[in-house]
A and B are shown apart, each in its own frame.
Chain A
Amino acid sequence: MQSLSILLQEAPADTFGYMLLGLGVILGTMTLYIVSLVSRINNLHRDLEVLDQVDEQQMGAQAAGD
C-alpha cells in the first residue's frame, strides 16, 4: 500500500534536508580526516625538532666534557 502511494504521488518527495545531511556527513568526515592527517604530520615535525635540539645539547655536553 505504501509503495502504491509512492507511485501515485505527483511530485518527488521533499527529501532536501536528508540530502543536506548526507552531503554534510560526507564532506565533514573527509574534512576531519584531512585535518587529522595535517595535525599528525605537524606533531611529527615538532617531535623531530625536539629530537634535534636534544641531540645538539647532548653533543654540546659531550664536547664540554672532553
Chain B
Amino acid sequence: MDPMPKTLKWLNRITVVLFLIALYLTLFYAPREAVMGDVQRVFYFHVSAGWVGGLAFLVTAIAGGVYLARRDSRWDRVALASVEVGMVFAFINIVSGSIWARPVWNTWWTWDPRLVTATIMELLYLAYLMLRQGIEDPDRRARFGAIYGIAAFISVPITFFSIRFFRTIHPVVIGSSDPTAQGTFDMTSRMLMAFMFSLLTFTFIYLTLLWHRIRLGNLRERVEGRKLEVLSV
C-alpha cells in the first residue's frame, strides 16, 4: 500500500491534540450546569456527533451526485466511506442523548419527534449498506448507491428541523425552544467556547476518519483487482 501521506499524518496528530483540548474544555473549563449537573457535559459531544452525522450524509449525497455525473468509482468510494463514518457518529449521537435523557427526562427513551427522526435516519443509512451488499455488479451497485444516498439525505434536514417544526420535549439550545421542552439551558461564554471547540474537533475527527476509510476502500479495490489477475493466470 502507498505510504501514508504527510498531510494525513499531520491531520492525525492535530486531531488527537484537538480532541484532548476538547476533552479538557468539556470536563474542566465549562462550568457545571446549575440544574442538570455533570451529565450536561455530554451535550458538547452529543451535538457535535449529530453535526458530523449530518455532514457525513451530506458528503455522501454530493459524492453520489458527482459519481452519477462522472461515473468515476473514486466518488462511490467517498460516498460509502462517508456513510460508514456518519453512521458511527449518528449512533453516538442517539446513545449519548439517551444517557443524558435518563436523569433529565427520567427515561432512557421516548417517542419524541427528534428521537424518532434521528433513528429513522440511522436505519435509512443502514439500509444503504444492506442495499450495496445485495448488488453484485460494481457499476450497478455504485449507481444505485448514489441515487439512494441522494434520496436518503432528505432525512437529515427532517431530523434537524423536527424540534423546530413539531411539538417536542427535546430542547433547542441555540434558538428558541418549545415551552414544553425539558432540559433546556442558557449557555455561558465558557460553555459556548467548549461547544464551538467540540464542533471543530469533531469536524477534524470526521475528516481524519473519512480519509482513512477512503484509503481502506482504495486498498480493498486493489486487492480485488489483484485477485482477478492471479485467478485469471
Quick one: closest B residue to A46, CB to CB? B223
The A interface, classified by DSSP as helix, strand, loop or mixed, is helix
CB distance from A19 to the nearest CB of B (A): 4
CB distance from B111 to the nearest CB of A (A): 20
Taken residue by residue from 25 to 41, chain B's Cβ proximity to chain A (1 for < 8 Å, 0 otherwise) reads as 01000001111111111
Instruction: Indicate whether A54 reaches chain B with its CB closer than 8 angstroms.
Output: yes
Please pick, from A6, A26, A52, the residue contacting B96 in the complex, using a CB distance under 8 A. Answer: A26
Contacts of A2 in B (CB 8 A): 106
Q: Which B residues from 145 to 190 make CB contacts under 8 A with A?
A: 182
> Which segment of B62-70, B87-95, B123-131, B134-142 sits at the interface?
B87-95
Assess the A47–B37 pair: CB atoms within 8 A: no
Assess the A16–B222 pair: CB atoms within 8 A: no
Assess the A37–B213 pair: CB atoms within 8 A: yes
Instruction: Indicate whether B216 reaches chain A with its CB closer than 8 angstroms.
Output: yes
Assess the A51–B100 pair: CB atoms within 8 A: no
How many residue pairs at the A-B interface have CB separations less than 8 Å? Answer: 110
Instruction: Indicate whether A35 reaches chain B with its CB closer than 8 angstroms.
Output: no
Q: Complex Cα distance A24/B39, Å? A: 12
Instruction: Indicate whether B209 reaches chain A with its CB closer than 8 angstroms.
Output: yes
Interface residues on A, range: 20 to 34
Q: Complex Cα distance A31/B227, Å? A: 31
Q: Which A residues from 1 to 44 make CB contacts under 8 A with B?
A: 2-3, 6-7, 9, 12-16, 18-19, 21-23, 25-26, 29-30, 33-34, 37, 40-41, 44
Contacts of B200 in A (CB 8 A): none
Given A22-B99, A58-B233, is A12 in contact with B226 using a C-beta cutoff of 8 Å? no
Residues of B near any A CB (own CB < 8 A) = 1, 26, 32-42, 45-46, 49, 85, 88, 91-92, 95-96, 99-100, 102-103, 106, 182, 205, 209, 212-213, 215-216, 219-220, 222-223, 226-227, 229-230, 233
Residues of A near any B CB (own CB < 8 A) = 2-3, 6-7, 9, 12-16, 18-19, 21-23, 25-26, 29-30, 33-34, 37, 40-41, 44-45, 47-48, 51-52, 54-55, 58, 62
Could you write out 12 A-B pairs with CB less than 8 Å apart?
A: A12-B32, A15-B37, A18-B39, A19-B42, A22-B39, A22-B96, A34-B209, A37-B212, A37-B213, A41-B219, A51-B227, A54-B230
